[in-house]
Amino acid sequence: MNDLGLKITNGQKHIQVTSDSRNFSVSEKQRLAEVSKQFESLLTSMMLKSMNQTTGNGMFGENSFGGDFFDSIFQFEIANQMSKGTGLGVAEQIYRRLTGESFSPEVLNPKLKPVEKFSKIEVQQNTQEIGPVKPSNQSLSRLDKYDEIINYASETYGVDKNIIKSVILAESSAKENAVSSANAKGLMQIIDSTAKYLGINNVFDPKENIMGGTKYLSQLLRRYNGDLKFALAGYNAGPGNVDKYNGIPPFTETQTYVKRVIGYIKNFEETSNAL
């Protein structure tokens, strides 16, 4: 069997995988990520082999003892280690075409524990000074349309549905076409750079927006060890500002935002307990 030579002018040109548009579970996404990484590793190994064939000397020199054997091993290991890092970006391109999302921590690291859902008692910790806030009936009526998506996002990323609902209400009053003065868009008011990072193609699509926004919330909750106040402050003002001030930044807008979201959460929980 002849050796396979490889010539690539545009590595991403050949990645024409079309998503079947169904919802993947976290375990399925983990498997797709693993296979994508394995493909990139194989592709990288083939590229290294092709480059060595071009020079004619291999990695250990033309006349080295066992050079061909060791070349193959080192090519494989180098390719494998490259794919574990940022790699060539091929694996993420394949994964994105299959799922419509970018790699996330829980997908790349199956051992990473999901964010624990917040119970009423946990939400009330360190928030005793904040009372329930009732949203307008109009915004609640709009929000009802997205119950199915919110429940799915909650199950996927481990963020309590009342937190998701409350962020949506605070961000856009549940208006899917909302655009802020800072050009934040959609139900969860996601700016373009964050949308790109989260793998959102259409920020005005309710499902993409809610899934992306919830994914970001889960990352912030994990970053701040489940501290809801810090996560909400990070969502509003950016995690850089939370880190800079080692807590909720001294911005009136952010402080008001955190109180409003937690007030909405408490209102949802009181309403649920009354039923």
Helices and strands, number each (H, E), in the chain: 13, 0
**Cα separations in angstroms, 94 against 44, 60, 80, 83, 128:** 15, 33, 17, 13, 47
For domain 120-274, the CATH class is mainly alpha
Nearest to 133 by CA among 228, 259, 273: 259
For the chain, give every domain's residue range: 11-108, 120-274
Instruction: State the pTM of this model.
Output: 0.60
CB 130 within 8 A of CB 266: yes
Q: Which of 171, 176, 208, 269 is catalytic?
A: 171
Answer for the pair 181, 164: CB distance below 8 angstroms, yes or no.
no
pLDDT confidence of residue 11: 42
In the numeric block, which tokens belong to residue 161?
């549905």
171 given a catalytic annotation? yes
For the record, the structure tokens of 229 come out as 């106040």
Tens place of pLDDT per residue across the chain (275 aa): 444 444 444 444 433 444 444 567 767 777 777 777 777 777 666 666 666 665 555 544 555 544 454 455 545 555 455 445 545 567 777 777 777 776 665 666 655 445 545 444 355 556 667 788 899 999 999 999 999 999 999 988 889 999 999 999 999 999 999 999 999 999 999 999 999 888 899 999 999 999 999 999 998 998 888 889 999 999 999 999 999 999 999 999 999 999 999 999 999 988 877 66
The backbone torsions φ and ψ at residue 161, rounded to the nearest 5 degrees and listed phi first, read -60, -30
The answer to whether the beta carbons of residues 146 and 168 sit under 8 Å apart is yes
